[in-house]
Amino acid sequence: MDARNETSTAVVDGFPAAPAPRRAVRWLQVARDDQAELIRFWPVVHNMVSQDLRVRYQRSFMGFLWTLINPLLMMAILSVVFSNLFPSRANYSLFLLAGMVPWGLLSGAVVESTASILINEGLIRKIYVPKLIFPLVRALLNLVTTVLSLGALFILLIPLGARPSWPMLLLPVAMGLLFFFTLGMALFVATANTFFRDCGHLVSVFMQAWYFATPILYGVSDFPEAIQWRFWLNPAFYYIEIFHNIICDGQWPRASILGTAAALAVISMGIGYATFKSNEDKMVFRL
Amino acid sequence: MPRLSPTKTKWFFDSEGRNRGVRRDLADVEQPLIDLRGVSLKFINYADKTFTIKRAFLQLLLRREKPVPDSEFWALRNINLRIRQGERIGILGSNGAGKSTLLRLLAKIYPPTTGEVAVRGTVAPLIEMGAGFNPELTGFENILLNGAILGFNRKRMLEKVEEIHEFTGLREFADLPLKYYSSGMYSRLAFGVATSIDPEILLVDESLSAGDAAFREKATRRIRDLMKRSRAVILVSHDMGSLRKLCDRGLWLRKGELIADGPIKDVIDDYEAWTKSIKTAPA
């Protein structure tokens, strides 16, 4: 019969055709198409996020309250442990929590979206869904938990000795910047892991190293003035610094830091999005 | 909803409702619903799928030949196809001829290696059942999730839930997580959801047998019904009888090439004659 056993194909009268010259990618068009697709598939994203949250706390006695209680308990433990370990700093537990919460968004989203394309293989191979939504869902899920943790942090603020202040109005902006920075990295990592499976293992180790390289457990001021500039090379430093400024010190963050954070968010988003879109078509063949 | 002008991108779907309110059936009857131009699809059988960073670097740096060359496989070769309003298309061909690949290409699951694909209208892929089902969620939630993936918002899907329960007879299990469903219940639900939407283009892959004889009969009737409602149907089947009955245009694929395109009767006759000649020919 007609069943193919041979794997290689002879070139028959001009087939396969010579590859067409590569057309330049029109990024504006790509982004506009994606916007339309995201609007069309927004109910799917919404569904996936809310149901993932629901499944996570299904059939537990406290149910959805765990999203709030969990970070509260975590923070209580962390502040007890670390403020006894490093008692040198005033108000150390608040300092610690203000750094931990935004870091949770970054590392959680990046680590989770590493395998997001591979995990959803069943869906991708059966039905059309824009692949962009899988890293996006992971990032949004982490955003939701982080915002809830931030809520828990506010509850803790009073006993920890801080007071609500005007600069806190800037928190949504800081969250937004951090979210886009995170999403860019998540997209990049998700693409890389689809083609190079080793990435998954590297990413979690890398995030761990990055965590210790970022002033979360310690402050920049613990270092001599002469080498403090080294932290400027760390992109995460700017975001953590903004949160420290706002939550711990109750100060408006410096414009230069905010500006750098915004620029980094744009760069990260640009690199991540471009990498993802230019490899999106090949992904289905690599699953 | 952003108002976008239809553009000449590789993919575009008009399911976003940009032209809602326009009598499209009057406005552009002439425009084909599906337009494939010189479409080829190549699968690369990667010698080993775990393409490691180490190997990528070595290849890049040393410009070294791959230890085992990747073998290529052209699943579709240079296909030109236009499908207009109201056509009922049956695709014939033996195993491995590229029929299912063509359906998947139309469903946007595979991108074309070369050529252009333009599809106008919502597509309902009855290719694989139960895509996007989450075993942790209840039957009811899965109906909503699947509806969202197929392009229906919550409100419109809620209107359909009753009808889906009616058809599958799974109303009393609606609040049970899907992982406790039997495989028969699972496929019934999947079929019910997939066939509950009103598509413009319907892609159906043969083996849609689910459940017992009574259900299969119900399913067949439901598909026929769906075919009547949709504006274009593409059916892949090995059952010549049903193809003759349901379709009016036939396509014959062989080794990824479109070798016949015409009235279904002629194509089936040719195909059967060819099959017989292959069988009687000395091995």
Averaged pLDDT for residues A225-230: 87
CB contact under 8 A, B109 and A128: yes
Interval A55-98: pLDDT, tens: 877 766 676 677 667 777 877 787 788 777 766 666 777 888 88
Give me chain A's average pLDDT, please: 84
3-state DSSP call for residue B19?
coil
Query: Confidence band (pLDDT; 50, 70, 90) for B282?
Result: low
pLDDT of residue B70: 65
Beta-sheet strand order (sheet of B201-205): B123-126, B201-205, B232-236, B88-92, B249-254, B257-263
Residue B117 makes CB contacts below 8 A (sequence gap 6+) with B10, B11, B35, B36, B39, B105, B106
Within B86-231, strands assigned E span: 88-92, 114-119, 123-126, 201-205
Nearest-neighbour CA in chain B from A104: distance (Å): 26
Interval B68-84: pLDDT, tens: 556 778 888 888 989 88
Q: Establish if A202 belongs to a structural domain.
A: yes
Instruction: Write the residue in A17, A196, A284 that is nearest to B109 by C-beta.
Output: A284
Instruction: Write the residue in A15, A36, A51 that is nearest to B4 by C-beta.
Output: A36
Instruction: Write the residue in A44, A126, A196 that is nearest to B53 by C-beta.
Output: A196
Percent of chain A exceeding pLDDT 90 equals: 40
**Rounded distance, CA A192 to CA A174, Å?**
27
Interval A107-158: pLDDT, tens: 999 999 999 999 988 888 888 889 999 999 999 999 998 998 888 778 777 7
B92, two tokens: 């014939």
Instruction: Write the residue in A3, A43, A48 that is nearest to B95 by C-beta.
Output: A3
Phi-psi label, residue A86: left if phi above 0, alpha if psi -120 to 50, beta otherwise: beta
Nearest-neighbour CA in chain B from A40: distance (Å): 7
The DSSP line for A35-67 is: HHHHHHHHHHHHHHHHHHHHHHTTT-TTGGGHH
pLDDT exceeds 70 at position A247: yes
**Rounded distance, CA A135 to CA A116, Å?**
6
pLDDT exceeds 90 at position A241: yes
**Rounded distance, CA B37 to CA A234, Å?**
49
Total domains, chain A? 1
pLDDT of residue A261: 95
For B169-199, b/e burial (b = at least 16 CB within 10 A) is ebeebbeebbeebeeebbbbbbbbbbbbbeb
The closest alpha carbon to B169, from B153, B191, B147, belongs to: B191
Chain A residue numbers touching B149 (CB-CB < 8 A): 41, 44, 123, 127, 129
Give me chain B's average pLDDT, please: 79
CB contact under 8 A, B73 and A43: no
pLDDT exceeds 80 at position B11: no
Interval A204-214: pLDDT, tens: 999 999 999 99
Q: Establish if A279 belongs to a structural domain.
A: yes
How far does chain A reach from its first CA to its final CA, in angstroms? Answer: 30
Chain A residue numbers touching B95 (CB-CB < 8 A): 1-3
Q: Establish if A51 belongs to a structural domain.
A: yes
A187, two tokens: 């997209």
A218, two tokens: 């310690």
pLDDT of residue B8: 40
Question: B194: nearest CA in chain A?
Answer: A127
pLDDT of residue A7: 44
CB contact under 8 A, B45 and A7: yes
How distant is the alpha carbon of residue A16 from its chain centre? 42
Chain B residue numbers touching A199 (CB-CB < 8 A): 53
Domain that holds residue A75: 27-285
Q: Establish if A192 belongs to a structural domain.
A: yes
B92 and B268 in contact (C-beta within 8 Å)? yes
pLDDT of residue A197: 83
> Pairing state of beta strands B114-119 and B232-236?
unpaired
> What pairs with residue B249 in β-bridges?
B89, B263
Q: What is the largest CA-CA distance in chain A?
A: 81
A104 and A147 in contact (C-beta within 8 Å)? no
Q: What's the whole-model pTM score?
A: 0.83
CB contact under 8 A, B145 and A48: yes
ipTM of the complex: 0.77
How distant is the alpha carbon of residue A173 from its chain centre? 16
Residue A8 makes CB contacts below 8 A (sequence gap 6+) with B71, B72
Size of interface A-B (CB pairs under 8 A): 128
Query: Confidence band (pLDDT; 50, 70, 90) for B57?
Result: confident
Q: Establish if A21 belongs to a structural domain.
A: no
Question: B152: nearest CA in chain A?
Answer: A43
Q: Establish if A22 belongs to a structural domain.
A: no
CB contact under 8 A, A199 and B53: yes
Range scoring the smallest mean pLDDT among A149-153, A214-218, B18-22, B232-236:
B18-22
Instruction: Write the residue in B1, B56, B78 that is nearest to A39 by C-beta.
Output: B1
Query: Confidence band (pLDDT; 50, 70, 90) for A20?
Result: low
pLDDT exceeds 50 at position A192: yes
**Rounded distance, CA A121 to CA A99, Å?**
35
Interval A157-166: pLDDT, tens: 777 766 778 8
Query: Confidence band (pLDDT; 50, 70, 90) for A3?
Result: very low
By CB neighbour count within 10 A (0-12 exposed, 13-18 middle, 19+ buried), where does A80 fall? exposed
How distant is the alpha carbon of residue A117 from its chain centre? 15
Q: What's the DSSP call for residue A247?
A: I
Question: B130: nearest CA in chain A?
Answer: A126
pLDDT top residue among B240 and A258: A258
pLDDT exceeds 50 at position A5: no
pLDDT of residue B27: 52
Averaged pLDDT for residues A267-276: 95
CB contact under 8 A, B154 and A43: yes
Cα torsion angle, B132, B135, B139, B142, sign: negative
Query: Confidence band (pLDDT; 50, 70, 90) for B126?
Result: confident
B240 and B275 in contact (C-beta within 8 Å)? no
Which amino acid type is present at position B117? V
Q: Establish if A20 belongs to a structural domain.
A: no
